[in-house]
């Protein structure tokens, strides 16, 4: 009996099976990694848009209690904001939710509190001018000596 060098059909089939199982696991891992990367990109973009919306509210300088909603440029994201008053005068709680426009799935939620800027009235401004005009005579004498 002479034995030929080489692989038998069973050995080749086992090698292909092991290679196939490893390749399927590798492909699944790459697919999961790419999906996670895309989800992370969506969440980061949504959070940046939400932060920008909060900064717009801060820049406007006045806050009206209530609910508003809209879409961001590109129509991929929509937002809903709720502004409510607190026990402290001028302090408002802001709850901003960013959702995917097509699926209405919530992507992120940002909560913060903002103070309304203090606006002086005309009478307060006039009173402060009068107080500046009524300087202490002792301080006036010191200034004139210098």
Question: Using one digit for the tens of pLDDT, what is the confidence trace for 51-98?
Answer: 999 999 888 878 888 999 999 887 789 999 999 999 988 899 999 999
Q: Give the chain's length.
A: 146
Residue 44's CB is within 10 A of a number of other CB atoms, namely 12
Residues 92-126 pLDDT 10s:
999 999 998 888 899 999 999 998 877 666 666 66
Alpha carbons 126 and 123: distance in angstroms, whole number: 5
pLDDT computed for residue 33 by the predictor: 87
Domains of the chain: 10-118 (3.30.1300.30)
pLDDT computed for residue 52 by the predictor: 92
φ and ψ of 140, to 5 deg: -65, -40
Identify the band that residue 133 occupies on the pLDDT scale cut at 50, 70 and 90.
low
Chain mean position to CA 36: 18
Residue 86 DSSP label? -
């Amino acid at each position: 009996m002479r034995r030929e060098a080489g692989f038998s059909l069973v050995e080749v089939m086992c090698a292909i099976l092991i290679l196939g199982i490893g390749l399927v696991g590798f492909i699944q891992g790459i697919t999961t990694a790419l999906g996670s990367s895309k989800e992370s990109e969506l969440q980061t973009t949504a959070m940046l848009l939400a932060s920008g919306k909060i900064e717009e509210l801060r820049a406007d300088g006045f806050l009206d209690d209530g609910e508003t909603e809209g879409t961001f440029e590109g129509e991929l994201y929509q937002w809903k904001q709720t502004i409510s008053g607190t026990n402290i005068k001028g302090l408002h709680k802001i709850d901003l939710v960013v959702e995917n426009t097509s699926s209405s799935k919530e992507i992120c939620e940002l909560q913060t509190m903002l103070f309304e800027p203090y606006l002086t009235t005309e009478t307060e401004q006039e009173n402060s001018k009068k107080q500046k005009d009524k300087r202490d005579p002792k301080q006036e004498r010191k200034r004139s000596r210098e």
